[in-house]
A = this chain, B = another copy of it.
Amino acid sequence: MGGDHGPRCVVPAAADALRRNPDLHLLLVGLRQPLLDEVERHALPADRVTLHFCTETIEADDSPASMLRGKRDASMRVALELLRDGAADGCLSAGNTGALMVLSRSLLGMLEGVERPAIMAALPVAGKPCHVLDLGANVDCSARQLFEFALMGSVAVSEMYGLPSPRIGLLNIGHELNKGGQQVREVSELLRQCASLNYIGHVEGDGLFRDQADVVVCDGFVGNVVLKASEGLAVYLQQEIRQALANSLLLRCMAPLLRRALRPVTQRHDPTAYNGASLLGLPKVVVKSHGAAGEQAFAAAIDYTVRACQAGLPQRIAGRVAQVDRSL
């Protein structure tokens, strides 16, 4: 059980999710004592929770080799094995993203017709998420892979959020057709030819925050950098504004009023509510929580995982990929 906070955050979040989802059953996988302590403290219902103890955890600086061949009893591996063997419908982890990706591929394999998995998450824009993929699973991507990301993103957003025909954009450095490299042009052509996709064309960096598309496709290097830069900028600007307001005595006195006025903004952009990134392209539901997620954010990621399982996401994606492959 990984992430920055481990069972101290995951277990109360589990208690919360169990209260809200009456049909939910949870398998918790982690080191014995810390897990037992927390489960006892939060009085989880014994009939709806199964505990699996393991002796190891994967750390941020573990090498891919040690993830794959060492640490046979790491909580992340055990959880994925339980998923593979049918003991669970989905797997959620706040641990090392690279490890989750590598272990998922190795233990679960890939969906037929999908070359590479992709990580998809939402940028909260005016209460209306803009889903971006890939966010770091693949540093370099072929045109075909980016095309698959678009298909998978379209299915995921359509099934999980009830959008019948999500607008699909391709991240690029200009909206004109002749902009970007050879690869962007190739993907663009594939996307334009796919009648079942609502492809709207190129989206520039600022377009991510202008409600231009519901799903934006890019390679994992660009996606990861943009996601982290956006998080970094938002945090930085908040600090700057807070500091400036703190310098004024009158505004310090008015802080409660200001907070109330700004509440709609903070609520609409609360990263807590948007926690949960899908690893798409696998034959089972695997979800990554932000490593720094607190209790509320982790509970949101559990809800997200439940929604992905209920939507039967992997099967939906497999069906759509097969359909498109037949029509090509």
Q: Are B244 and A265 in contact (CB under 8 A)?
A: yes
Q: Is A112 interfacial (CB 8 A cutoff)? A: no
Copies of this subunit:
2
A38: B residues at CB distance < 8 A: none
Q: State whether B229 touches A208 (Cβ < 8 A).
A: yes
Main SS at interface, chain A: helix
Would A206 and B180 count as touching, CB distance under 8 A? no
| Pair A234/B232 contact, Cβ less than 8 Å | no
The A116-144 residues at the B interface (CB cut-off 8 A) are: 125-126, 136, 139-140
* Residues on the B chain within 8 Å of A125, using CB: 236
B63, B171, B176, B265: the one contacting A225 at CB < 8 Å is B171
Q: A204-219: which have CB < 8 Å to B?
A: 204-210, 218
Given A240-B126, A261-B245, the answer on whether A229 and B229 have CB atoms closer than 8 Å is: yes
A136, B261: Cβ atoms closer than 8 Å = no
Interface hits, A78-115 → B, CB 8 Å = 98
How many chain A residues touch B (Cβ–Cβ < 8 Å)?
61
**Chain B nearest Cβ from A145, distance in angstroms:** 14
- 8 Å CB contacts to B: which residues of A19-38? none
Residue interface mask A213-251, B partner, CB < 8 A = 1: 000001011101111111111111100110111011011
Q: Which one, B63, B98, B218, B264, contacts A244 given CB within 8 A?
A: B264
> CB of A254 within 8 A of chain B?
yes
Given A225-B222, A225-B226, are A232 and B244 neighbors across the interface (CB < 8 Å)? no
A258 to B241, CA, bound (A): 10
Given A136-B173, A264-B244: A206 in contact with B235 (beta carbons within 8 A): yes
**How far does the alpha carbon of A262 sit from the alpha carbon of B229 in the complex, in Å?**
23
CB <8 Å contact, B221 and A205: no
Task: List A residues 160-196 near B (Cβ within 8 Å).
Answer: 171, 173-174, 176, 178, 180-181, 184
Chain B residues with CB under 8 Å of A176's CB are: 60-61
Complex Cα spacing A213 to B229, Å: 14
With A and B bound together, what is the CA distance between A174 and B232 in angstroms? 14
Complex formed: what's the CA distance from A268 to B244 in Å? Answer: 11
Q: Is A257 interfacial (CB-CB < 8 Å)?
A: yes
B173–A139 touching, CB < 8 Å: yes
A78 CB to nearest chain B CB (Å): 24
Partner of A232, one of B126, B181, B207: B207
Min Cβ gap A243→B in Å is 8
Query: What residues on B are CB-neighbors of A205 within 8 Å?
Result: 224-232
Q: How far is the CA of A204 from the CA of B225 in the complex (A)?
A: 6
Question: Taking A244-B261, A262-B241, A264-B244 as contacts, is the C-beta distance between A206 and B221 under 8 angstroms?
Answer: no
Question: 13 interchain pairs (CB within 8 A)?
Answer: A171-B225, A173-B221, A204-B225, A204-B228, A206-B232, A208-B229, A210-B232, A221-B222, A241-B241, A241-B265, A244-B264, A245-B262, A247-B261
